[in-house]
């Protein structure tokens, strides 16, 4: 593989000049630039990005840490991040944290050891404190799906409280008076925020939060199944159930179907996230839109702007959820 040196020989210029044309430095006359370009073409020269990184102390790589890669949630986010970064010739190194604090920290170190210029993190298990300290190291950090006051400008997150509120509010508006809730794991921030919103909507509607109609789930289909089963077994009646994400909603619906319950006739169900398959389960799932892909894109733009000084227009840091009305929730009969 040809090096910058070979090119300089062939073009009859110095190393520095070749470097200048590679880096689009303007201080090169058109004629020399041409000579160099030709030499490069003839030698099929490709810059060695590793050498560039070592010499310039910029790796052009950004690390992305997510909780999981399977599941419907992170794919769209990763896709946007890759696209935005790739368009500016940056590459993304992925790591998975599995929602485990030790693994998350290890992943961060791993990414750092790879010389990433910035880190985009979607972590849930690690403490605020750890992240604040991390942000004080030299590598820029962007947090997706998490708000930490001390890191405000680099947090990109959804107003989850509002989302939880919107979901339950929708049920209240439809006349439901007895509303069950299948939550995400209580150790996850967003799950707790959604719950708070749920309770606010309840209170606003003059309803009391009934612990017997509250189930802690796991954000997975299995948790939705187990949650619905548990709810059914309480013997308490309820006409609506709000699930803290679509996966649990789909699990809950599956259980209802098995039991001969017709959705939404016998029970109204609403999910959260608006994952791609939400509109392909039947009935089409009423849910709350979580613009996860936009948040991914925003994180990438943030990095381009702040780390690579690539003049990108940033829209915002905090995103608003929106109700998506489809067919799984209807007006209560009474």
Question: Which spans of this chain sit near its own copies (rule: CB under 8 A)?
Answer: 46-51, 53-54, 59, 61, 68-72, 74-76, 78-79, 82-83, 86, 89, 91-96, 110, 112-115, 221, 247, 250-251, 253-254, 257, 276-277, 279-282, 284, 293
Residue 38 CB, shortest distance to its own copies, in Å, is 20
- Asked if 10 and 3 count as a contact pair (C-beta separation under 8 A), the reply is no
Look at residue 233 and give the partner it binds from its own copies, DNA, none, a contact being a CB closer than 5 to 8 Å depending on partner kind. none
262 contacts DNA (rule: CB under 7 A)? no
CA distances to 41, 128, 147, 226 from 132, rounded to whole Å, are 47, 6, 11, 37
Closest CA to 268 of 204, 172, 160: 172
4 contacts DNA (rule: CB under 7 A)? yes
Q: How many Cα atoms within 13 Å fall on the side-chain side of residue 221? A: 11
Closest CA to 200 of 148, 160, 245: 160
Residue 72 CB, shortest distance to its own copies, in Å, is 7
- Asked if 58 and 114 count as a contact pair (C-beta separation under 8 A), the reply is no
37 contacts DNA (rule: CB under 7 A)? no
Cα separation, 77 vs 294, whole angstroms: 7
| Strand partners for 179 | 240
Within residues 46-85, the interface with DNA by CB under 7 A covers: 47-48, 51-52, 54-57
Look at residue 110 and give the partner it binds from DNA, its own copies, none, a contact being a CB closer than 5 to 8 Å depending on partner kind. its own copies
CB nearer its own copies, residue 69 or residue 325: 69
Q: Binding residues for DNA, per CB under 7 A?
A: 1, 3-5, 12-17, 19-20, 22-23, 26-29, 31-33, 45, 47-48, 51-52, 54-57
């Amino acid at each position: 593989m040809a090096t910058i040196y070979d090119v300089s020989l062939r073009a009859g210029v110095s190393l520095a000049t070749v470097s200048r044309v590679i880096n689009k430095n303007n201080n090169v006359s058109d004629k020399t630039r041409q000579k160099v370009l030709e030499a490069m073409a003839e030698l099929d020269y490709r810059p060695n990005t590793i050498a560039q990184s070592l010499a310039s102390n910029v790796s052009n790589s950004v690390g992305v840490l997510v909780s999981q890669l399977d599941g419907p949630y992170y794919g769209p986010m990763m896709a946007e991040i890759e696209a935005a970064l790739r368009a500016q010739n940056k590459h993304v190194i992925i790591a998975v944290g599995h929602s485990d604090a030790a693994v998350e920290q290890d992943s961060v170190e791993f990414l750092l050891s790879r010389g990433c210029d910035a880190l985009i993190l979607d972590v849930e298990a690690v403490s605020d404190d750890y992240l604040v300290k991390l942000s004080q190291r030299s590598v820029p950090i962007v947090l997706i799906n998490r708000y930490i006051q001390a890191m405000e400008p680099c947090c990109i997150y959804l107003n989850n409280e509002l989302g939880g509120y919107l979901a339950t509010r929708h049920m209240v508006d439809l006349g439901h008076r007895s509303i069950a809730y299948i939550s995400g794991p209580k150790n996850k921030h967003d799950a707790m925020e959604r719950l708070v919103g749920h309770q606010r909507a309840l209170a606003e509607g003059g309803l009391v939060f009934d612990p017997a109609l509250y189930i802690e789930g796991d954000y997975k289909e299995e948790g939705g199944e187990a949650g619905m089963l548990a709810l059914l077994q309480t013997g308490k009646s309820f006409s609506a159930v709000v699930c803290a994400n679509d996966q649990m909603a789909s699990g809950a619906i599956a259980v209802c179907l098995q039991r001969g319950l017709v959705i939404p006739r016998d029970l109204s169900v609403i999910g959260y996230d608006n994952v791609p398959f939400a509109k392909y389960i039947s009935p089409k799932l009423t849910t709350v839109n979580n613009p996860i892909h936009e948040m991914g894109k925003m994180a990438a733009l943030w990095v381009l702007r702040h780390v690579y000084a690539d003049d990108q227009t940033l829209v915002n840091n905090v995103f608003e959820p929106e109700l998506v009305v489809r067919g799984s929730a209807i007006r209560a009969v009474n």
